[in-house]
Chains A and B, each alone.
Chain A
Amino acid sequence: GQQVMQIPQYQHVQEGEDFTTYCNSSTTLSNIQWYKQRPGGHPVFLIQLVKSGEVKKQKRLTFQFGEAKKNSSLHITATQTTDVGTYFCAGQFTNAGKSTFGDGTTLTVKP
């Protein structure tokens, strides 16, 4: 079936260090979304990438969509303790189709 692989599963960083999580698909995606889930909370939509090679920034967060629309990354610059949580990517293989979630990357930040 169509899967979205996400790595790493866990990442522990010192406050101030950078963090990156990666998602890969074996087949071309229509679009990809990123969500953040705080411990005990529900997923919150961060951003959607649609165009090949697209790069979007939200303050310290940088989102990229690969040229082939098969991979994506989320990079956080100078992590803060408020960044802790699990980051999920979710890929759609067809327009308005269902989303397939990656396994998530759980980020912990040591102050």
Chain B
Amino acid sequence: GAVVSQHPSWVICKSGTSVKIECRSLDFQATTMFWYRQFPKQSLMLMATSNEGSKATYEQGVEKDKFLINHASLTLSTLTVTSAHPEDSSFYICSARPGVAGPDTQYFGPGTRLTVL
């Protein structure tokens, strides 16, 4: 149980294009999903917290107009990197937290490796 999927697993795009990454909780409802980015050999840096049906809460320094987050249902959150540039190349990981009745832990997706040329 507690499986989180992410799609795509990797993507290569040209500078200036937008990329959408999906995060799905497959066997539980996630009232909260988190989006992280991880640079090589570094820790996970929280970008934003996504709550179903409401606007995402962005961490300081994260441009909300560049990283659009939509949490339209209890099992799906999307991250759109708009007008991507080479410096946006990174490993993007989502995690999902079960609802209030569930354990207070996060289950991570397999990540999406974005390369912007």
Contact = CB atoms under 8 A, between A and B. Distances in A.
B104 A92 contact: yes
Contacts of B100: 96
A98 interface: yes
Contacts, number: 46
Chain A interface, DSSP helix/strand/loop, else mixed: strand
Contacts of B41: 106
Contact of B105 (A42, A45, A88): A45
- Indicate the size class of the contact surface on chain A: 20 to 34
Interface in A30-88: 31, 33, 35, 41-45, 48, 88
Contacts of B43: 88, 101-104
B104 A95 contact: yes
A90 B34 CA distance: 13
A35 to B, nearest CB: 8
B49 interface: yes
A104 B104 CA distance: 21
Interface of A: 31, 33, 35, 41-45, 48, 88, 90, 92, 95-96, 98-104, 106
Interface of B: 32, 34, 41-46, 49, 93, 97, 100, 103-111
